[in-house]
Amino acid sequence: MAPTLLIVLFAAAISLALNATTSASGSWSPDPAVIDRLNANPRVAAQYDEASVPDYDLPDVLATRDGQPITTAEQWQAHRDTLLDLFREQMFGRPPGAPDELTFELRQRDEHALGGSATYHRIDAISRVGERSHRFEFVLFTPNDAAGPVPAFVLIDHRWREDRDRSQPEDRGYWSPQLVIERGYAVAAIRANDLAPDHADHYTEGIIELFEGYHAPTASPAPHKAGTGGAGSSAAPAIRRPDAVMALAAWGWGASRVMDYFEQSDAIDASRVAVLGHSRNGKAALWTGAEDQRFDVVISNNSGCGGAALSRRAYGETVRIINEHFPHWFTAHFKAYADREQELPFDQHQLIALTAPRAVYVASAGDDLWADPRGEYLALAHASPVWALWGHDTLDPDAMPGLEQPVTTGLMGYHLRTGGHGLTPYDWNQYLDFATRRWQ
């Protein structure tokens, strides 16, 4: 054989071997053109260089706070309470609990929805705490051909503004009730703003006011100032506690009230319900699943910083940036970790682990670098040893899948979709496949 041919064959063999290694350790890397585009936009210019991610040590997901190893499911359950409490105190706030009284009012019912395949309901959830009450609406589609109670999805929806009609699917697929109905499941949506307006000066004017009697003054100089007194009162501002419940947890509280409805409904199998949120509500969905273990499947779509992405990587949106832009999402305690991620007493893999031993799905988008796709995958993989306590397979942190190669391991699912930040029919279909495997 001619020496040149030998060299070519040798080079080809090496390149094959290298490719195999690359794909085993995760073949995806961000498109440099996307990084340039993001950095040209001052709103999302950030650290997107993988080589500049700081060295970090993650808290061991299988160790107690005082460093004892966790080797059994029983030990995990005991540790879980401490960990949940830590996330409440430091990040999402202490939950207000259930209302004194909760009632539901059917406002509209249409048996011919989605081309006759579903019944559409608009339902009001009315909560009473002492003298105060709060009302929010949710929509619910149930499949018309159901033979009995069906599993359901609940979307925590921040894109549903008052002027949007949720009886119809949305063109771009963010709201895709028809896909869920086709699988034989029900699907509900809540409007996040009804639980806590997504605004630093007004976020208390929902269920926080219901429980605390606070009424945020409109010209609040700081996000943590709120007025005392009954709903609608203009009493002097008071400082809320540094671990007071904040907007993300308030949104999740609404999903729990829908679960309360499911538990008393003959149409829904409340033991098979998935909670789903995109982006800010992908964060809220993870927290909802941590707080409310009645949700059997927890799905976090493009949730990024404060959601599925590891904070310690400080890639894309960071703890400092998110707290500056959205001071009403997380507690006052969390603000202390701006540019000090390494000092956090936890990282987001432990938030995901609070879902165990139920099913969890995390999804990223290849161009959504602000949300740090790799950090989202790594958090899921580093959470997975907790599921091994129940005998389930784990995910390899070094084997991040490539674009549109969804992986399901044990009770965990992950995919990296092509394109940017969003919730699309592709995403919904992966979640429906995953939930179907879980529920059948």
Q: Footprint of ligand GTR on this chain (CB under 6 A)?
A: 279-280, 304-305, 317, 322, 325
To ligand GTR, the closest distance from the beta carbon of 283 in angstroms equals 7
* Phi-psi sector, 43: left (phi>0), alpha (psi -120 to 50), beta: alpha
To ligand GTR, the closest distance from the beta carbon of 27 in angstroms equals 26
Selected catalytic residue, list 279, 303, 311, 364: 279
157 vs 201, which CB is nearer to ligand GTR?
157
To ligand GTR, the closest distance from the beta carbon of 278 in angstroms equals 7
151 vs 223, which CB is nearer to ligand GTR?
223
The Cα 383–Cα 61 span in angstroms is 6
125 vs 286, which CB is nearer to ligand GTR?
286
To ligand GTR, the closest distance from the beta carbon of 44 in angstroms equals 8
Closest CA to 389 of 77, 66, 59, 83: 77
**Tokens 């059948």 identify what position?**
440
Residue 76 CA: distances (Å) to CA of 95, 97, 106, 357 = 22, 24, 41, 10
To ligand GTR, the closest distance from the beta carbon of 292 in angstroms equals 21
To ligand GTR, the closest distance from the beta carbon of 339 in angstroms equals 17
305 vs 362, which CB is nearer to ligand GTR?
305
Selected catalytic residue, list 199, 333, 392, 421: 421
For the question of residue 421 being annotated catalytic, the response is yes
140 vs 305, which CB is nearer to ligand GTR?
305
**Contact present, 341 and 98 (Cβ < 8 Å):** no
Q: And the tokens for 16?
A: 């094959």
206 vs 277, which CB is nearer to ligand GTR?
277
Determine how many CB atoms are found less than 10 A away from the CB of residue 261: 19
The Cα 126–Cα 141 span in angstroms is 20
Closest CA to 25 of 35, 33, 17: 17
207 vs 365, which CB is nearer to ligand GTR?
365
For the question of residue 392 being annotated catalytic, the response is no
**Contact present, 187 and 251 (Cβ < 8 Å):** no
**Contact present, 366 and 415 (Cβ < 8 Å):** no
Dmax over Cα atoms in the chain, in whole Å?
Answer: 92
Closest CA to 308 of 390, 354, 375: 375
Q: And the tokens for 417?
A: 């979709």
Q: And the tokens for 178?
A: 């028809």
The Cα 333–Cα 189 span in angstroms is 30
The Cα 156–Cα 179 span in angstroms is 17
Calculate the CA dihedral of residues 294, 297, 301, 303 and round it to 10 degrees. 50
Going by DSSP bridges, is the β-strand pair 132-143/186-191 parallel, antiparallel, or unpaired?
antiparallel
279 vs 311, which CB is nearer to ligand GTR?
279
SS3 127: strand
Compute and round to an integer the Cα radius of gyration of the chain.
Answer: 23
To ligand GTR, the closest distance from the beta carbon of 247 in angstroms equals 11
To ligand GTR, the closest distance from the beta carbon of 321 in angstroms equals 7
Enumerate the active-site residues. 279, 421
